[in-house]
Amino acid sequence: MAPSEIQTLLEKDRPDIQWHVDGDGYQYQVEGIGDAFEGLNAVKRQQLVYGVLNALIADGTLHAVTIRTYTPAEKSAS
């Protein structure tokens, strides 16, 4: 699966978050930036992203995913 396909799925499900996806067809890096992450701990943030990707992980389409999530303020501070 191409990174652009994963990004499209994420954007369709959560258009309120700015997504960036990179990967080589085996390992993927997902970055999400949005106010939706405000007030959520790291586990809740991961759950939000996995909620979109779980079916692809379960059927083996996605194997290794690294997820980084930020609020806009957190991203601008990094």
Query: Which one, of 6, 76, 71, lies nearest residue 33 by Cα?
Result: 71
Domain that holds residue 18: 3-77
CATH code for position 65? 3.30.300.90
Reduced 3-state DSSP string for 20-33: EEEECCCEEEEEEE
For 14-67, the pLDDT digits (tens) are 999 999 999 998 899 999 999 999 999 999 999 999 999 999 999 999 989 999
Task: Indicate the number of domains in the chain.
Answer: 1
For residue 23, the model assigns a pLDDT of 96
- β-strand partners of 67: 30
Task: Classify residue 59 by burial, with Cβ atoms within 10 Å: 0-12, 13-18, 19+.
Answer: exposed
What is the pLDDT at residue 35? 98
Quick check: pTM over 0.85? yes
